[in-house]
Amino acid sequence: MASLSKSALKKILDRRTLRQMAGARSFERGEDYFASGQVRALAEHDGTITAKVLGTREYRVKLWVENGDLEFSCTCPVGTDGAFCKHCVAVGLAWLGQGREGSATSKKPAKPSVTMDDVRTHLTAQGKEALVDLLVERAMEDDRLRQRLLMEASRKAPKGLDLATYRAAIDGAVDAGEFVDYRSAYDYAQGIDDVVDSIEELLKGGYALEVIDLTEHALAAVEEAMGSVDDSDGHMGGILEHLREIHRAACKKAKPDP
């Protein structure tokens, strides 16, 4: 499956496609970003290319093929509006430029021979305890991953589902500590979305009454935070609507006393 996905990338991803999707101006700016070495942490696995691009801030880019088309995402304002931005162009060019030593536009070394498929093989051979230690170590450095693991573990708590863990995750995701500007709004909203998705999973697991409690707590927290966020793109509004939908679904299942 991975080889087929990779083959699809090779078939569809080229300079012409990048120029058509971005337009001449964004393509040229993407070329400049690539040529100046702004693309970092380029990786490919299972037909998906990921990388970071240093622009006004650090942006995360993904490229993949779906239904015969090149799909993309970028955390920059232009990318979150659904446009194929200069950062996507830079990542596409970096992927195309791998292994071309002496290329006039690539300042990166040749493509490494070790891939994420090799990493998967390596991890498969490790013991369970080693993998657990690795994940816990990473979670201590990644707030979103840590909260996700805490919420998952709370479902298996000896005394039953621990709602305090979910409330803490909601409060932690919503509390940015300062005003969230336009450029930071997408990442901020993504952190809240992760928690909301975990609450929705609880509903599927049969915790309707608990979900009513948590969505009401989340709605209050998000509504309070709205005044401290530049929500020009409507990310926070979308989160509120999602929470309301989950709350309605939970009420239909639990049928609480009005």
* Half-sphere exposure (Cβ direction) of 251: Cα atoms closer than 13 Å: 10
Q: Which residues of the chain have pLDDT under 50?
A: 1, 100-109
pLDDT at 110: 56
Taking CA atoms, 22 is separated from 17, 25, 97, 122, 228, in Å, by 9, 8, 18, 38, 33
pLDDT at 111: 60
Cβ proximity of 33 and 55 under 8 Å:
yes
Closest CA to 94 of 38, 171, 55: 38
Burial 129-164 (b: 16+ CB within 10 A, else e): eeeeeeeeeebeeeebebbbebbeebbeeeeebbbe
Q: Is the pTM of this model over 0.85?
A: no
Radius of gyration of the chain (CA): 21
pLDDT at 159: 81
Q: What is the mean pLDDT of the chain?
A: 87
Token couple for 93? 């060019």
pLDDT at 101: 43
Q: Residue 229 gets which letter from DSSP?
A: B
pLDDT at 106: 44
pLDDT at 254: 85
